[in-house]
Amino acid sequence: MAINIGARRAAKNQRRKVVVAEKRKAEMLASGTASQVRMALAHPIQHCLLSEGLFDSGMGILVVARGATPASVTMATFLLDTFALGAKDVFFRSLSAREFAQHVDHMSITSPMVPVDPAYARKLLNDLVAWARGLGVAPHRDYVKVEPIFGAVKAEARDVQFPFGFGGKPLFMGDESDIARRLTRPSGGVTTDARPEAPITAALENAGSEEPRAGLG
């Protein structure tokens, strides 16, 4: 009996050590991302790109890249769902001009990536996240750490209204279990469409697959 009790205590202690180690690892990764974003702010914005068909398809990608020169940049990428889910995913990494061009090619598979004004891009991102929060949908967990990549760019500098939703109403697209996981409160009568958004999600994953990243939030 004493042996069994000792074994259970040892197993419990081991599980506690694993949980603590994973928590510390997550904290280190989070701190690392925030620090990298702050370092990137020392350099100008070299690229600000947005999926051209964002409001038609309801899904698209926003890219903001900073660097001392276009030859080497730090890129923040946001997967956007303008129909309901807001900022679904976030990537952050450093890469060369050649790698950046390759990533843009991958991300342009479903819709061309076109240059946009950073103030317009920040307002779009901030307004979309605020609108989605109103539906009970929180942004990806890395959004708060990576959004400051815009630096001193003022979102309020642009006076524009965005057509969020589908026909003026929220439309939840994708896997129903994923949708339920993202909701922070009941959706209350909004429309759900379980069609997958695989092409654009695959393009974004290809663009960020060469280095570790945070998973879907």
Tell me how long the chain is: 217
Kindly list the domain boundaries of the chain, sorted by start residue: 41-207
* Predicted local confidence at residue 73, as pLDDT: 95
Angle made by CA atoms 106, 107, 109, in degrees to the nearest 5: 70
pTM here is 0.72
Q: Which residues of the chain have pLDDT under 50?
A: 25, 27-28, 189-190, 194-203, 205-217
Residue reference for tokens 């969020």: 164
pLDDT of res. 184: 67
d(CA 58, CA 210): 27
Q: What is the pLDDT of residue 207?
A: 46
- Please, is 118 exposed, middle or buried when counting C-beta atoms within 10 Å of its C-beta (0-12, 13-18, 19+)? buried
pLDDT digit string (tens) for 28-55?
Answer: 455 588 888 999 999 999 999 999 999 9
